[in-house]
Structure 1
Amino acid sequence: MPKCKEDLVLIDQPAQLIAERVAASSATQPLVRRVGGALIDAATALTGGNGDEPGANERFLLDCLRLMVSTPALRARHLDSQYALQQAIVDALGDDATDPDAAFRAQAATSACMAAMHTALTRWTEDDGHTKLPDLITRALAASFGDDAVATYRKD
């Protein structure tokens, strides 16, 4: 149950879905591919997949993002939720917590992927959801890390 107005918009954060996708990914893949793939897969699931018409979930998510962008208190809460999402992803990667270098690499890769995702989310709201969110995330990840980072997800 929401405790405050900010919770109304931030309910059902996709953190668990993303963390599950990361945990299920092959540990032999590069970190960026594991995290980026999970972000793309979660966006596909949350926006209703590949249909041409936006679904109710997609419109709701788009409306929530617009509200977060335009409301200072929600932007602050969104940053908190992004930090929690980053930690959930790092935990799901399963890197040995006793190895500081592995933990650092996981945090850096996750943070960079989330920055690419944020850029895609911003673009998605600006173009009113006309471009599919998974495609924008794929493009942002490719722009940041090269096509090899998202080779299995490219649809071009």
Structure 2
Amino acid sequence: MTTPQRLGRTPPSPEHAVTSLRERKKARTRRTIQEEALRLFSEQGYEATTVEQIAEAAEVSPSTFFRYFPTKEDVVTQDDYDPLLLSAIMAQPAGVPPLTAIRAAFRSAFASIPPREMDQLLFRTRLSTTVPALRARTVDNLFSTMDALAGAVAERAGRDPRGPAVQALAGAVLGVMLPVLSTWVERDGTTPLPDLIDEAMGYLEAGLPL
């Protein structure tokens, strides 16, 4: 039998294996909590659903819920899409203009999201645009996303992430995303989100012609 050593590879250490297993278990727990929360929100409404009910449905304690999601709002508004998008931006070829790179990154990032997860995203977006407490939290998250986007753009261009040009570009991208998400919800997802984003980014890339 060929061993990893003979192939020139070092087998993972026991500590790495334990850490990887722990991270996978944490990811499963986080996903289960969010899925059960969304199911309960769909069945009985956001306001009527308590953290205790979510924890019971996910078979965890309320304290465990709060280790993964600091508030009930976070179980709707938190996701892993920012790192996915930023990774896609950084993967674009060097020399590609910033808006072109961001537009391509949106296409590739959202293409990797499976249909069931997109359905969940549509439901979370609907909640975020209709529940007042969630709308406020969503605005906070958008500012965090704008800062992260500015950081990625600045790193690619060798610019200051707090510079006015970089901040204006990041703000413009987030600005076109708001009506895109609103339109997606209004159409109940009948128009794919990646298509809506690509159309809006195309207008922005062309200088917003009317």
Could you say which residue in structure 2 is the equivalent of 1:120? Answer: 180
Q: CA RMSD in A?
A: 2.0
Unpaired runs of 5+ residues, structure 2, are: 1-67
Unpaired runs of 5+ residues, structure 1, are: 49-54, 148-156
Q: 1:35 pairs with 102, 115, 133, which one? A: 102
Q: Which amino acid aligns with 1:62?
A: L
Q: Distance in 2 between matches of 1:28 and 1:72?
A: 42
Q: Is the Cα–Cα contact under 8 Å of residues 120 and 140 in structure 1 kept in the other structure?
A: yes
Q: Which amino acid aligns with 1:56?
A: R
Q: Is the Cα–Cα contact under 8 Å of residues 36 and 113 in structure 1 kept in the other structure?
A: no
Distance change >3 Å, CA 96–CA 127, structure 1 → 2: same
How many residues align? The count is: 138
Distance change >3 Å, CA 9–CA 27, structure 1 → 2: same
1:110 paired to 2:177: no
Taking the TM superposition and a 5 Å limit, the aligned residue runs for 1:1-150 are: 1-46=68-113, 48=114, 55-93=115-153, 94=155, 95-96=157-158, 103-146=163-206
Q: Which amino acid aligns with 2:122?
A: L
Structure whose alpha-carbon radius of gyration is higher: 2
User: What SS is found at the alignment partner of 2:90?
Assistant: helix
TM-score by length of 1: 0.79
Q: Which amino acid aligns with 2:141?
A: S
Q: Distance in 2 between matches of 1:124 and 1:99?
A: 30
Q: Is the Cα–Cα contact under 8 Å of residues 150 and 161 in structure 2 kept in the other structure?
A: no
Q: Percent identity?
A: 29
Question: Higher relative contact order by CA 8 Å / sep ≥ 6: 1 or 2?
Answer: 1
Q: Distance in 2 between matches of 1:34 and 1:104?
A: 19
Q: Distance in 2 between matches of 1:98 and 1:108?
A: 12
> Which 4+ residue blocks in structure 1 deviate beyond 3 angstroms?
95-100
Q: Distance in 2 between matches of 1:23 and 1:126?
A: 32
TM-score by length of 2: 0.60
Q: Which amino acid aligns with 1:132?
A: P
Q: Distance in 1 between matches of 2:152 and 2:80?
A: 16
